[in-house]
Amino acid sequence: MTVDTTKKTHAMTSQQRSEAGMAWLFSAPALILLTIFLVVPFIMAIGLSFTDQRLIPNPNLPTRFVGLRNYIRLLKDEAFLRGLVNNFYFVLVVVPIQTTLALFLAILVNQKIKGVNLYRTIYFTPVVTTMVVVAIIWTFLYNPGKGLINAFIQAISFGQLGPYRWLQDTKLVFPSIMLLSIWQGAGFQMVIYLAGLQDIPGELYEAAEVDGANKIQQLLYVTLPQLRNTTIFVVLSTTILAFKLFTQVEVMTKGGPQNASMTTIVHLVHQGWGNLKVGYASAISIVFFFIVLGVSLLQRRFLREEREVA
């Protein structure tokens, strides 16, 4: 009896080792690529952040170790601080609006109506369109002279409102970029919510109808609780994407006017590629990485606690 048990245990152990070996074998290409293109550059960035490394080496100005000088400089860098504030402002506004809009669109396209696949395609099209193209098109739409948005506002107000300088006014430029971002990104979250909606058992809605629940009550007490895990994923992924705000700002305003639309990533690229200050840009990237990591962990913990309470 004991011998048979030992043989079974040994056989299971051998099988587990074989499965673990196959798992590592199949994971090896991805792990190698992640190490080469993610882990190693990050470690290099940490080292470069303590130097005055330049993008183009100069034999007359060798790279020097400067300690914490780059990090101290960040505290006095108005463009970096403004970019950080704009990033948080963008996250606080765009994430809840985009998430809510995505859920609303997902509920709409989840209905059994004629031509629903066409509507899904229309709502998702901005996501698969290159952001550079989207930003250029919206730049024309925002044109203060012949832009369609100003023309529409003037038409419905009978000439009483507008034209507005959307991308030249320091108060309007960042909300304008937010509007573009919400429109472009909502389709991605919509697809995720749509998958979550289709996984909800129909029996739950039937039981809710038997109990006399109307559509709003079904949404509050059936749909939203069943989409809790989906919402956590959507909020976290949208937050990370929002912190990475770069392309539309770089194409439309380059952080202007007067740094009103500056973001941390835009400032990082300008310092690293525009001003050739790789050491300083590395310090910006390290600080920003830990800020985004901290926000993501806090957000995930908060959402998890909220889920446990619910």
Kind and range of the H or E run holding 43: helix 40-48
**182 in any annotated domain:** yes
Residue 111: partners with Cβ closer than 8 Å, 6 or more residues away: none
Closest alpha carbon to 192 in 113, 130, 111, 99: 99
At 51, phi and psi to the nearest 5?
-130, 175
Instruction: Name 197's Cβ contacts closer than 8 Å, sequence gap at least 6.
Output: 106, 107, 110, 223, 227
Which amino acid is located at 131 in the chain? M
Q: 152: number of CA atoms within 13 Å, CB side?
A: 6
Residue 71 falls within a domain, yes or no?
no
- What span, in angstroms and rounded, lies between the C-alpha atoms of 248 and 133? 9
283 neighbors 71 (Cβ within 8 angstroms) = yes
51 lies in a domain? no
Alpha helices in 56-199 (DSSP H): 69-74, 78-109, 116-128, 131-141, 148-156, 173-198
Task: Show pLDDT as tens, one digit a residue, over the chain (310 residues).
Answer: 454 555 555 555 777 788 888 888 898 999 999 999 989 999 999 999 999 888 887 777 788 898 899 999 998 999 999 999 999 999 999 999 999 999 999 998 888 878 888 888 888 889 889 999 999 999 999 998 788 999 999 889 888 887 889 999 999 999 999 999 999 999 999 999 999 998 888 888 888 888 888 888 988 888 888 998 888 888 888 888 888 899 999 999 999 899 999 999 999 999 998 888 999 999 999 999 998 888 888 877 776 665 555 5
Task: For residue 11, tell me if it sits in a domain.
Answer: no
Neighbours of 23 (CB within 10 A): 10
Structural domain of 230: 83-273
- Reduce the DSSP state of residue 179 to 3 states and report it: helix
Q: Is residue 103 part of a domain?
A: yes
Partnered with residue 61 across adjacent β-strands are 58
CB-based burial, 227-265: b 16+ in 10 Å, e otherwise: beebbbebbbebbebbbebebbbbbbbebeeebbbbbbb
CA 249 – CA 117 distance, rounded (Å): 32
In the chain, how many domains are there?
Answer: 1
pTM over 0.75, yes/no? yes
Can you read off the two tokens belonging to residue 68?
Answer: 């914490």
- What is the Cα–Cα distance from 282 to 262, expressed in whole angstroms? 18
**Helical packing angle, 228-243 and 173-198, nearest 10°:** 150
Any idea what the CATH number is for the domain that residue 124 is in? 1.10.3720.10
For residue 92, what are its two tokens?
């606080």
* Tokens found for residue 218: 């079904």
